[in-house]
Amino acid sequence: MTTIKDVANEAGVSISTVSRILNFDETLSVGEDTRRRVLEVAEKLRYKKRNRHVPKGGKKIGIIQWHSDKEELTDLYYLQIQYGIENKASSLGAGVEKLTFDSVDKNRVKGLSGMIAVGKFDKTEVMSLKSYDLPLVFIGENYLTYDCDSIRSDFESPVRKIIDRFIDRGIQDIGMIAGKETTVTEKQGVRDPRVSTFDSYLAEKGLFNDAFVFQGPFGPDSGFELMNTAIKQLGDKLPHGFLIGSDSMAVGVLRALQQQNISVPDRVSLISFNDVAIAKYTSPALTTVHVHTELMGERAIEMLTDRIKEPKKVPELTVIATELMERESSL
């Protein structure tokens, strides 16, 4: 198993620096380049060594980013997907070019064999990308409505399993710290299937309490603020179980609970999502849902390759399962 020392050696920084970066310590004064290098090394060491050699004359795939570089560093979900795309593309002799949605135009897409759009896009954005008449695959949501190949994770099943797990362990007061996202162009709120499933499944069991649900941006700062709000508003009625929208949010949640001397998992059990590298370096280590982000990237390349070969074939939706990684943050 990769250790903090391995990450430090590979990134060329101290063990303490790695530890503080992986715990999103804002008091640490390091440049964004160093922060990115450490986070990328931590993720890369989990997988096979990446092959960046691309033969001359190979295809070039455009990765259309919905998120900013800053968001990529505060929530590593998208970074992992990118690795999957790059690895698979490289193995097939193709190169990749990263583009933000705002930077895409006719000149930028010249020379691309196809595009993979990663994130949450509204109708205007989808139609804009389709207008370039290139093979196109979306990762993150279901865009079959727009006749586009799509890949998403199954977020509904693990939410139900987590709720059942809490109940089986005698926890019936269950809360959620959830992420909130909006599209770039129309600023539309993005529906999170984890939130809707959480609400409906607990309601079926007669256990839903709207006062136990808190939403904000993905990231550690938001997790910290939302849990502090929950502690202040609920006091002794703070739920004994919490489902957290992402591992990075959970880092902030843990910090808030620790500052208030609230024991995890003895008083509050936490289960988060994504299983990025930071999940096993927190204290306690996070019980989290492993989302096969790298596999999503690999499948996107395969779907795009099929679309290039057969432009008229029926659009497909691929839904990829998840699995729970049990660690120390939950009973």
Look-up of token digits 């939706």: 317
Average pLDDT over the chain reads 90
- Position 186 pLDDT exceeds 90: no
Summarised one tens digit per residue, pLDDT across range 257-296 is: 999 999 999 999 999 999 988 898 899 999 999 999 999 9
Contact at 8 Å (CB) between 331 and 158?
A: no
Q: What is the pLDDT of residue 256?
A: 98
Mean pLDDT, residues 71-80: 77
- Yes or no: say if 216 and 225 are a contact pair by the CB < 8 Å rule: yes
Distance CA(156)–CA(140), nearest Å, equals 14
Q: Is the pLDDT of residue 54 over 50?
A: no
- CATH superfamily for domain 156-291: Response regulator (3.40.50.2300)
Rounded Cα distance between 277 and 86, Å, is 18
Strand order in the sheet with 174-179: 213-216, 174-179, 241-244, 269-274, 287-291, 322-325
| 175: helix, strand or coil | strand
3-state secondary structure of 316: coil
Same fold, 4-151+292-318 and 156-291: yes
* Topology of the domain comprising 4-151+292-318: Rossmann fold (3.40.50)
pLDDT of 179 higher than 50: yes
The pLDDT, as a whole number, for residue 46 is 65
CA atoms within 13 A on the CB side of 221: 6
pLDDT, tens digit (0-9, with 9 covering 90-100), for 151-172? 999 999 999 999 999 999 999 9
pLDDT at 57: 57
What pTM was computed for the model? 0.85
Identify the pLDDT of residue 48.
45
- Reduced 3-state DSSP string for 220-283: HHHHHHHHHHHHHHHHHHCCCEEEECCHHHHHHHHHHHHHCCCCCCCCCEEEEEECCHHHHCCC
For the chain, which residues make up each domain, given as ranges?
Answer: 4-151+292-318, 156-291
Pairing of strands 287-291, 322-325: antiparallel
Does the pLDDT at position 86 exceed 50? Answer: yes
Q: 288: closest CA among 250, 240, 231?
A: 250
